[in-house]
Every structure is written in structure tokens, then in C-alpha cells.
Amino acid sequence: MTSKHYDLIIAGGGIVGLTLANLLADSGLKIAIFDQQSLNLPTLTQDYELRVSAITHASQELFQHLGVWPAIEAMRLSPYTKMYVWDASNEAHIEFEAREVAETNLGHIVENNVIQRTLLQQLIKSSWLDLIPNTTLEKIKLSSDGVEVKMTNGQTLSANLLVGADGINSKVRELAGIAVDYQAYGHMAIVATVCCEKSHGQTAWQCFLPDGILAFLPLADLHTCSIVWSCDTSVAERLLRLDEPAFAVALQDVFAKHLGKIELLSKRLSFPLAMRHARHYVVPRIALVGDAAHTIHPLAGQGLNLGLADALGLAQVIIATSQKQRDIGLLANLRAYERWRKKENLSMILAMQGFKALFGSSLPPLVWLRGQGLQLVNKIPMLKHFFVRRANERLVNARQGIPYNEQKDGSI
């Protein structure tokens, strides 16, 4: 069997895998990406895609650094200038506005296929990259100087490093024998596109209900929102059984006072939600990024943003290692990536668990506490600014292109 050799193979051409490839464009490395799907440019239609992401300023800066942000802007996105969060149990609420922190917006809602298209468009004609569609991983064989990857299309490739960017059920993670800490949230997320009688006012709306969290994310059209309803699995199953008008009424019961009459514009998709955290992000010759390394509750819209930061961290480590003409697949050289990203991702995972526990409880003391907490933060500008800034922390490294490890201690 012939085995073509690369410096790096990326399993998974989702947004995180494609971002990593774009970050490595000028590295001089020879790269292959394979995916079980087609890797054709996604077709954009008038209808909004059901999968959308809240993109932070940090991720926007990363896309600007890659040169894809103008194309994303030209296709379709929706800036949000305000967040309005309330607790249905006690009507306490908190509002954040971009102008309070001297920003023009707090982030953007972007359809996933828009991001994917712009990232792919920049890669399709690259001579340093092979895109291998419609195949999945079958086997990996590790040796001291490389990794061999066998795919279901019969091809075998070899590389110095294999990156698992292959999502929540990562086959790379499984074949590498990397254990995962797993905790089901007991929640399922329902997503859909809806039309609202009143303008969404470029506001990201989120309501904490006794049995879940309902978010309305503003889309480019001022009367269209993407909804994410994360709720107890039994509640989600009941909501999915409702016909369209009855489901719209269920949305209206929560949101009518802000957005008026609601109409469903799309089918509903649902996703079981669980926290997953790989015990290791790197083992010899293998690294994990994005959902392959971690999944979190979508309540704060951070999963993809964390995955993009992984791609940036790993790219920086790979570039620094390769510039020093060292082996990019050696565990000792990959560890800097794991040290940086695992700590940050873990703190977000813990924060989401705390949030879900606090807001998922109907115990009267907790209901009172969160009501007081929300009102307090809402009244104290300094605290509000802290939360807005924390939610939008910028990756200065992305803009400057400086390997983060060199800023800190000069070593990898």
C-alpha cells in the first residue's frame, strides 16, 4: 500500500479544523485534511442555516487575522449591541449594552455554514494542502518517528502529527485511547429559526426557566431570530412532539412581552447536551482541538469560540516548533499547547456547570440568591463592565501573530 507523507494531517474539516489549516498557511508545512463529508463549498440560501454561533470579539479578531472576516461580513452576519437576560422565577434581569463598554457591538451571530464557506474558499486552491473528502478514519499506527493513518477509502497517509478536529465523537480520540470525563447535562437543545412580530433590536435575549434556558439570537433581518431552547430531556421531547403552531405558542408564552407574536420559519433540530473533557489534549504524535477535546453547555455560546482558541494555540506551538526545526509531533513539543488550553477550557467548563446548577434550581434560597445577584450586577456599572469584558476577552496574540509562549518565558 502506498503511503503519502505529510507534516500534518487534520481529521475533520469543521470550522475548527479549517481554522487550524488557515492558521498554518504560511508555515511551509505540507498538510492534508480529510472529512467524512464532501468538503464542497456549502451552498448559501435565502433561508438562514439552523446552526448559528455567537462569535466573540476574540474570534472575530482571529478571522480578521486570517483575512476571512470581510467575506463573512459580505455574506451575512448580525451584530448584537445588547444582551437582556432574565429569570422567569423572579423576573430579576440584567442588561448589557455595547456602548457601556465603549464598543459598537458585543459580538456577532453568524451562520456556521457562512464561516465554513469562507475558510474553505481560502484553502481550495492551496498547493501545500490536500483536501480529502468523503472518507473516515479506520486505523492509526504510531511509531517513534510518525503516525500512519488508514482511511475507509483505502488510502493510507503518514505524518509527523495527526490532529483530531473530528467533533464530539472523535474517532482520533477513541483510537488514541484518550479517556474522556463525561457528564450528561440532562438537557437537550432545540434549535429553529423564528419570525417575531416586534424587532429583536439587535439584542441577544436569554430567559432562565425552571426547566431550561431559552435564547433568542438576533439574525440579520430585524424580525428573525435563531432560537436555542436547552431544557430537560423530557420537556424537550414534549416540545418536539408539538405541532408548529403549538411550539410557536410555547415560545410566545415566554417571549411575547419582548418580541410579540412568534412564528416558526424552519424545522426543529435537537441535540443532546453533555460535558466532555478529554483527559489529555496531546499524546505522542496526536493532538485534539475543538469539540474533540471538550464540549460544554451552549448557554453561554462559547463552545466554538474555545475551539477557535485551541486552533490558534496549537498553530502557534506548531509554527514555533517547526521554525526551530524540531519535530512537531513530539510530546515534549506539544505539551505547551495542552498546558495553555486545558486550563482555560476547564475554567469555562466549571463556570458553565456552576451556572447551570444555580439557574437550573427551583430551591427558594437559590431563586432568591440569583435574583439578588442579577439585580446587584445590573445596578453596579463596574461589575457589569467586568462581566462584559470577561465575556469578550480578546486574544491579543491573534492580532499580533506572536507565539504566546514566547511572550511568557521564551520557551516552548
Ligand X SMILES: Cc1cc2nc3c(=O)[nH]c(=O)nc-3n(C[C@H](O)[C@H](O)[C@H](O)COP(=O)(O)OP(=O)(O)OC[C@H]3O[C@@H](n4cnc5c(N)ncnc54)[C@H](O)[C@@H]3O)c2cc1C
Residue 194 contacts ligand X per CB under 6 A:
no
Q: How far apart are the first and last CA of the chain?
A: 37
Residue 193 contacts ligand X per CB under 6 A:
no
Specify the 3-state DSSP secondary structure of 181: strand
Q: Which three cell numbers stand for residue 221?
A: 433581518
Residue 305 contacts ligand X per CB under 6 A:
yes
**Alpha-carbon radius of gyration of the chain:** 22
The window from 91-99, 166-174, 236-244, 379-387 that contacts ligand X (CB under 6 A) reads 166-174
Residue 167 contacts ligand X per CB under 6 A:
yes
- Residue for grid cell 412568534: 262
Pick between residue 7 and residue 166 the one whose CB is nearest to ligand X: 166
Tell me the closest approach of the beta carbon of residue 44 to ligand X, in angstroms: 17
Pick between residue 14 and residue 412 the one whose CB is nearest to ligand X: 14
Query: Binding residue for ligand X (CB under 6 A) from 228, 283, 352, 377?
Result: 228
Q: Are strands 3-11 and 156-164 parallel, antiparallel or unpaired?
A: parallel
Residue 315 contacts ligand X per CB under 6 A:
no
Pick between residue 175 and residue 283 the one whose CB is nearest to ligand X: 175
Q: Count Cα atoms within 13 angstroms, Cβ side, for 247.
A: 26
Tell me the closest approach of the beta carbon of residue 167 to ligand X, in angstroms: 3
Asked if residues 38 and 133 have their Cβ atoms less than 8 Å apart, the reply is yes
Tell me the closest approach of the beta carbon of residue 323 to ligand X, in angstroms: 26
How far is 75 from 301, CA to CA, in rounded Å? 21
- Residue 373 CB-density burial (10 A; 0-12 exposed, 13-18 middle, 19+ buried): middle
Residue 36 contacts ligand X per CB under 6 A:
yes
The window from 8-16, 70-78, 195-203, 372-380 that contacts ligand X (CB under 6 A) reads 8-16
The window from 162-170, 340-348, 358-366, 392-400 that contacts ligand X (CB under 6 A) reads 162-170
Query: Binding residue for ligand X (CB under 6 A) from 13, 107, 329, 360?
Result: 13
What is the number of the residue whose Cβ is closest to ligand X?
A: 14
Maximum distance among all Cα pairs of the chain, rounded to whole angstroms: 68
CA nearest 266: which of 222, 228, 221, 226? 226
Residue 53 contacts ligand X per CB under 6 A:
yes
Tell me the closest approach of the beta carbon of residue 55 to ligand X, in angstroms: 7
Residue 136 contacts ligand X per CB under 6 A:
yes
Pick between residue 172 and residue 412 the one whose CB is nearest to ligand X: 172
Residue 14 contacts ligand X per CB under 6 A:
yes
Query: Binding residue for ligand X (CB under 6 A) from 8, 10, 16, 264?
Result: 16
Q: What are phi and psi of 333, to 5 degrees?
A: -85, -20
Buried b (16+ CB within 10 A) or exposed e, 284-314: ebbbbbbbbbbbbbbbbbbbbbbbbbbbbbb
Asked if residues 31 and 8 have their Cβ atoms less than 8 Å apart, the reply is yes
Could you tell me where the beta strands, DSSP code E, fall in 267-373?
269-278, 282-283, 286-288, 294-295
Residue 196 contacts ligand X per CB under 6 A:
no
Question: Which residues contact ligand X (rule: CB under 6 A)?
Answer: 11-17, 34-37, 53-54, 136-137, 165-167, 171, 189, 191, 228, 271, 290-291, 298, 301-305, 307
